[in-house]
Amino acid sequence: MVKEDLVQPDLNNMKKKFYISIPIAFREDDVHERNDEIKKYLDEMFPDIEYVSPIDYNHVNIKEVGNQTSIEQNAKFMGRDIEQVILSDAIVLCEGWEKSRGCKIEKYTAELYQKELLYFMGGKLWKYDNNWDKWFEYIN
């Protein structure tokens, strides 16, 4: 195979992807509604960006998630989640992320892979600026 045979992706035309890190365990009752609310907000703010969350592709039967899963199931779910974080351009951490083991692992992975960190709190998107040690509302 020669160099000319390799097809290079057009990075300028690739759709950006945000990973939504949403606490699931112990909050199964309203997780779908919270996920839909966040996606609706993000879709209005960034119509050209793809969004993915564990709810969309990972946890088929939400009643089995969190409190009821085995260690093997949790490991499988987290493996899929980490893969999606790595493949994303940014991560959106939802309210309660700091109390969720899964969200903390996703945040740590995003930091290691130098992804943009955004926070969905109080119905708005925020970004923390380390230089100013201050929160700023994210405006597209």
Residues 101-111 pLDDT 10s: 999 999 999 99
Residues 75-84 pLDDT 10s: 888 899 999 9
d(CA 84, CA 110) in angstroms, rounded, equals 10
Which class in CATH covers the domain with range 13-137?
A: alpha beta
Backbone angles phi, psi at 30, to 5 degrees: -120, 15
The pLDDT, as a whole number, for residue 84 is 94
Weakest-pLDDT range from 33-42, 65-74, 86-95:
65-74
d(CA 55, CA 66) in angstroms, rounded, equals 12
Backbone angles phi, psi at 8, to 5 degrees: -90, 135
Tell me which range, 17-21, 121-125, 131-135, is most confidently predicted by mean pLDDT.
Answer: 17-21
CB 88 within 8 A of CB 19: yes
Domain ranges across the chain: 13-137
